[in-house]
Amino acid sequence: MANGGGGGGGSSSSGGGGGGGGSSLRMSSNIHANHLSLDASSSSSSSSSSSSSSSSSPSSSSVHEPKMDALIIPVTMEVPCDSRGQRMWWAFLASSMVTFFGGLFIILLWRTLKYLWTVCCHCGGKTKEAQKINNGSSQADGTLKPVEEKEEAVAAEVGWMTSVKDWAGVMISAQTLTGRVLVVLVFALSIGALVIYFIDSSNPIESCQNFYKDFTLQIDMAFNVFFLLYFGLRFIAANDKLWFWLEVNSVVDFFTVPPVFVSVYLNRSWLGLRFLRALRLIQFSEILQFLNILKTSNSIKLVNLLSIFISTWLTAAGFIHLVENSGDPWENFQNNQALTYWECVYLLMVTMSTVGYGDVYAKTTLGRLFMVFFILGGLAMFASYVPEIIELIGNRKKYGGSYSAVSGRKHIVVCGHITLESVSNFLKDFLHKDRDDVNVEIVFLHNISPNLELEALFKRHFTQVEFYQGSVLNPHDLARVKIESADACLILANKYCADPDAEDASNIMRVISIKNYHPKIRIITQMLQYHNKAHLLNIPSWNWKEGDDAICLAELKLGFIAQSCLAQGLSTMLANLFSMRSFIKIEEDTWQKYYLEGVSNEMYTEYLSSAFVGLSFPTVCELCFVKLKLLMIAIEYKSANRESRSRKRILINPGNHLKIQEGTLGFFIASDAKEVKRAFFYCKACHDDITDPKRIKKCGCKRLIYSKTSIYKRMRRACCFDCGRSERDCSCMSGRVRANMDTLERTFPLSSVSVNDCSTSFRTFEDEQPSTLSPQKKQRNGGMRNSPSSSPKLMRHDPLLIPGNDQIDNMDSNVKKYDSTGMFHWCAPKEIEKVILTRSEAAMTVLSGHVVVCIFGDVSSALIGLRNLVMPLRASNFHYHELKHIVFVGSIEYLKREWETLHNFPKVSILPGTPLSRADLRAVNINLCDMCVILSANQNNIDDTSLQDKECILASLNIKSMQFDDSIGVLQANSQGFTPPGMDRSSPDNSPVHGMLRQPSITTGVNIPIITELVNDTNVQFLDQDDDDDPDTELYLTQPFACGTAFAVSVLDSLMSATYFNDNILTLIRTLVTGGATPELEALIAEENALRGGYSTPQTLANRDRCRVAQLALLDGPFADLGDGGCYGDLFCKALKTYNMLCFGIYRLRDAHLSTPSQCTKRYVITNPPYEFELVPTDLIFCLMQFDHNAGQSRASLSHSSHSSQSSSKKSSSVHSIPSTANRQNRPKSRESRDKQNRKEMVYR
């Protein structure tokens, strides 16, 4: 028995090699030549040892023979090195089990001992504490010192252990670079070990391998050594050792690391449970998150599902591969079958999917038992995971990529309210063929994927349009669309939302997000409410000087409507000017033919040729209209005042006192961008005798002049470098330039160009450069109109310098008549009760020539900002007596909410009631008004688009169906002892020189001038019952829009693209329609939310000197001779030369082209007719009039009318003055006496 034990020990010490050697002596003929064998020396020594042991102890061998028979199986190809058939799989498995359960036992034992120690120490501590309290007074300090030192040593020991634990935690955490590298490395090595398992799976389950000769075993050993070290770090860092021991990763290490060391020791390999390394794939999503690859929840979830599914699949396949190739232990491994690992993978897939072809199946009992349980969990996992994976893959954002910028091509980002309607309107205008080649790519960014219609629209424009799904509030999405390299970002607003303030807040947040990501990006955003524009000023990087613009739809919409109150039809004309419309040619002689010819005109900007330098604005304007077939209405003027907050100003029809500077930007009305190039290419020497404007193209001398100008500019900069000052402050500039002019002319002789023209241009260029030491230049420039020290004779149009000017006389330092900027009439705040009229009071008050505003709204309605409607009607370029009285008819609850922004404007009254009440409408004399405006604040609260405009449509039809007695107005006036102006034929205001078109009194509501605001464009068909407009007709082609009686906010969509291509267009439009709103005024309103009154100063009064829109009648007056068959071009030149009035359109009766007279009083708009266009006597001419400083002195002064065709009996508030050279000194009537007379004539609340 001792020998037997020794033999066992010897066999154990030789590690299976001895057993193998002994077997080879008996059954060497059954060993396959291809299988591995042990070293010769080891085999021989083991053989002799085995044989001696066998001969010396035969009895022992016979005693152990039954036990050995239990481990002997028929020799197969899978056990090449053990002829006895002895397997060592149990050694590999035992190493893992001992490690796992041994460690678990030690942890539990440690916890038990620690618990007992804690309980004991707790009891002992209480006893010691009681003794210390009892003996504390008798103890000396020295006796306690050893105890304290011991406690300090324990504390130091605990601190050391804690620091090691913290260090280990840092090493394995993904919060540091070292931790991330270590975690990724462990995962990569785990996948490497799994790959080695795949390679080894083609070998027998158990085989003899020499560690020093097997390369894969060496690599696997290195990997597992690293895993062991990492396991130690994890164990040290773990707070709860017990739960750490039971983790999946720990179990994987237990069953994969120890068998490798055993295989090295035994020189034998067992495939065993190495397939458990596939469970490491579960951590794949965590690794990708550590590497910042996975960022979205969907991608993380998708990778999690895939990794769990695949790891479970591969692990289960490894177990089937093990048991099927090994067989059942209780069957002496006889029922095994040869299956490759990938066949097992196939078997598990068909099993999970419940297909089960039967070509591959489990034969062993262990395999079948495992399949019974696996099919339950696998089927559940397959049925739940696979559909979810497919759904996540299918729901991947189709538009989730990133924009790739194209070299040499700009791109813009469009976000906000992205719908089929908004996108189609934007693209139709942005990509219009009338623009120059648009080499801009449009990138739409929205968090909702487009529907099929919108997707089809994107596909039709796929060469210039791309769509990406995302949000501008997400910096990652901003990076995807390359916002940092975008030329601009455009934000669209939902004009039909129920809560405008919430929509504005959303767009403001978009602006904040974009500016926070890239402060320098140019942003153009739509805003619904005017008061919300103030919030944009709070954004630090918002800078309107750098191109940032906010297009306030309420401000512009109400501004357009307000201008229609001054000149009916102007809203239609302006809306068509900044919208890109294709030319539609109609051969028939109908009103649509002339209207569409005007619709094809748009507004463009172009720099003026140097040939215009030094000429006055009217001269250049006439030359452009007559010779170049262009209509110039404004210029960008560069002020010489360096202290000005904004040196560049847009001046609309500034008059003949202003001279054109070098590089002046002109604003033109033309049908094509190519036509406007004529103003830039025009050369007097080459194009003076050309009659066909199409032949005006770039000439050769143009380049020579430009080269000379560039050399001239370099000389200017060089002389500045000599004195060390900037170009503007150079004191030596004038002398140096004069000294070098002769040399310059000799060096560059201009034989083909007039030297006088060129030198004049250069002198003008020199003169208009700002210089603090050259007052002569300032006088020649004419740009210092606001300077009190300028020459009076050069500033004859300056209101501050005209002798006897009533502005100077009326400048009362104790009275505030205008706001602090001088741009609007102002009065002290009034309580709303003081302006409320009852119906009887309104009926007793003779109102005429006023504006009636019918407003629908209640307490819960969103504010529409009536201040934007009133401000243009209270512009300071009107004299006080010219202001039209405004009467609001609507709910007093709603108007109280708006009153805070209206209480500083004069001549405003309120009639509480409803616009649907005819009694209320008759009380405000709606038949004598200049304009009736119909607005609604309830439009967006209705989901049905067809019903959104029901109130406005009903009110419009209600007014048109009303009948009036033509004597009512006169009877009411006579009852008050007062006849309305215009009804009295002896009134001096009725003089035919005024151009007043007098018609009989209005007897039917159809002739009342009305403008109705619509939300839904298709509802325009309901306004006119006698028109034949198709419901599908575009808004601008309908009769109500062409006549100026309907306005929809949708026409303002074109301003987005117009502003992008030319930000000056928006400035010009705002200057025209708002009455003079400036960024400085907006900042003031943002600060106080109200206009602030200011005392009249020369600077504020000078702001009144700006032109305004008016309508000129041709029936009589100074232009009556041209009204009957005259040419529009002759009228244009005469008005410009005589009165500095700039004509730009016609408001013509609809049936004026018919030979038979018609009773229809509807008119339509003709924009910028050609020179030879024939006029008719009933035409009204749109014109830009200069401010008349003398008109305020007397209401009896010569004036022109600004009225609509229906306003037959208007008060003098609709009369506009024409500048007169007559002596007006004998016409004294101060403003105070005039106001006093007005109060006698008319009671205004």
Q: How much is the average pLDDT of 18-25?
A: 35
204 and 341 fall within a common domain: yes
Residue 1098 lies in a domain: no
Mean pLDDT over each residue of the chain, to the nearest integer: 75
414 and 382 fall within a common domain: no
Residue appearing with tokens 């196939």 = 346
The structure tokens listed for 631 are 């209509």
CATH number reported for the structural domain that contains residue 543 in this entry: 3.40.50.720
455 and 382 fall within a common domain: no
498-502, 797-801, 820-824, 827-831: segment of lowest average pLDDT: 797-801
What's the confidence (pLDDT) of residue 650? 87
The more confident residue out of 596 and 62 is 596
The dihedral over CA atoms of 797, 801, 802, 803, expressed in degrees to the nearest 10, equals -170
Q: How much is the average pLDDT of 1004-1019?
A: 90
The side-by-side arrangement of strands in the sheet containing 886-890 is 908-912, 886-890, 851-856, 931-936, 1010-1014, 1046-1048
Residue 747 lies in a domain: no
Tell me the C-alpha distance between 336 and 851, whole Å.
103
Tell me the C-alpha distance between 1116 and 698, whole Å.
44
- How would residue 517 be classed by pLDDT, with cut points 50, 70 and 90? very high
What's the confidence (pLDDT) of residue 397? 73
Q: What is the 3-state secondary structure (H, E, C) of 84-137?
A: CCCCCHHHHHHHHHHHHHHHHHHHHHHHHHHHHHHHHHHHHHHHHHHHHHHCCC
Number of domains, the chain: 5
pLDDT at 411 over 50: yes
What's the confidence (pLDDT) of residue 790? 31
- How would residue 43 be classed by pLDDT, with cut points 50, 70 and 90? very low
Q: How much is the average pLDDT of 438-459?
A: 91
What's the confidence (pLDDT) of residue 457? 92
Q: Where are the alpha helices (DSSP H) in 267-337?
A: 284-290, 297-326
Pick left, alpha or beta for residue 964 (phi over 0 → left; psi -120 to 50 → alpha; otherwise beta).
beta
What's the confidence (pLDDT) of residue 922? 93
Residue 401 lies in a domain: no
For residues 511 and 435, the answer to whether their CB atoms sit within 8 Å is no
- How would residue 801 be classed by pLDDT, with cut points 50, 70 and 90? very low
523-532, 935-944, 1221-1230: segment of lowest average pLDDT: 1221-1230
905 and 1000 fall within a common domain: yes
Q: How much is the average pLDDT of 452-475?
A: 92
The more confident residue out of 87 and 1201 is 87
pLDDT at 770 over 80: no
384 and 449 fall within a common domain: no
What's the confidence (pLDDT) of residue 985? 35
Tell me the C-alpha distance between 314 and 319, whole Å.
9
- How would residue 432 be classed by pLDDT, with cut points 50, 70 and 90? confident
Tell me the C-alpha distance between 565 and 599, whole Å.
21
The more confident residue out of 956 and 1067 is 956
pLDDT at 1106 over 60: yes
What's the confidence (pLDDT) of residue 58? 36
892 and 1015 fall within a common domain: yes
What's the confidence (pLDDT) of residue 719? 41
Q: What percent of the chain has pLDDT over 90?
A: 27
This prediction has a pTM of 0.66
What's the confidence (pLDDT) of residue 133? 57
- The pLDDT tens digits of the residues spanning 605-621 come to 999 998 899 999 999 99
The structure tokens listed for 965 are 């007695």
pLDDT at 78 over 70: no
The more confident residue out of 1242 and 222 is 222
**CA distances to 254, 266, 343, 345, 738 from 317, in Å:** 20, 27, 9, 5, 97
Collapsed DSSP state (helix, strand, coil) of residue 187: helix
Q: How much is the average pLDDT of 939-946?
A: 70
- The pLDDT tens digits of the residues spanning 140-191 come to 444 444 545 545 554 555 566 677 777 777 777 777 788 888 888 888 898 9
- Phi, psi of 852, deg, nearest 5: -105, 125
Residue from 931, 956, 995 nearest 560 by CA: 931
What's the confidence (pLDDT) of residue 527? 94
What's the confidence (pLDDT) of residue 966? 64
**CA distances to 116, 250, 528, 710 from 663, in Å:** 96, 79, 36, 13
What's the confidence (pLDDT) of residue 73? 37
What's the confidence (pLDDT) of residue 702? 53
Pick left, alpha or beta for residue 1028 (phi over 0 → left; psi -120 to 50 → alpha; otherwise beta).
alpha
359-373, 409-423, 629-643, 1029-1043: segment of lowest average pLDDT: 629-643
756 CB-near residues (< 8 Å, 6+ apart): none
517 and 465 fall within a common domain: yes
* Last residue within a domain, chosen from 547, 573, 596: 547
180-184, 436-440, 511-515: segment of lowest average pLDDT: 436-440
The more confident residue out of 1136 and 178 is 1136
Q: How much is the average pLDDT of 540-557?
A: 90
Residue 1082 lies in a domain: no
Tell me the C-alpha distance between 645 and 624, whole Å.
32
Q: Label the pairing between strands 523-527 and 549-552.
A: parallel
What's the confidence (pLDDT) of residue 453? 92
Q: HSE on the CB side for 661, CA within 13 Å? A: 22
The more confident residue out of 943 and 127 is 943
What's the confidence (pLDDT) of residue 1170? 93
- How would residue 684 be classed by pLDDT, with cut points 50, 70 and 90? confident
30-44, 205-219, 463-477, 496-510: segment of lowest average pLDDT: 30-44
Residue 358 lies in a domain: yes
860 and 935 fall within a common domain: yes
pLDDT at 283 over 60: yes
Residue 267 lies in a domain: yes
Q: How much is the average pLDDT of 22-33?
A: 34
904 and 1002 fall within a common domain: yes
1036 and 1165 fall within a common domain: no
- How would residue 914 be classed by pLDDT, with cut points 50, 70 and 90? very high
Q: Which helix (H) or strand (E) holds 256?
A: helix 248-266
Q: How much is the average pLDDT of 958-982?
A: 58
pLDDT at 750 over 70: no
236 and 258 fall within a common domain: yes
Q: How much is the average pLDDT of 996-1002?
A: 51
- The pLDDT tens digits of the residues spanning 44-68 come to 333 333 333 333 333 333 333 333 3
* Last residue within a domain, chosen from 547, 572, 593: 547
**CA distances to 195, 197, 212 from 219, in Å:** 11, 11, 11
259 and 353 fall within a common domain: yes
For residues 335 and 364, the answer to whether their CB atoms sit within 8 Å is yes
Residue 675 lies in a domain: no
Q: How much is the average pLDDT of 1000-1017?
A: 86
Q: What percent of the chain has pLDDT over 70?
A: 71
* Last residue within a domain, chosen from 37, 57, 86: 86
Most confident of 359-363, 596-600, 1152-1156: 596-600
Residue 653 lies in a domain: no
Q: Which helix (H) or strand (E) holds 206?
A: strand 206-208
Boundaries of domain holding 80: 2-86
Residue from 3, 94, 106 nearest 57 by CA: 3
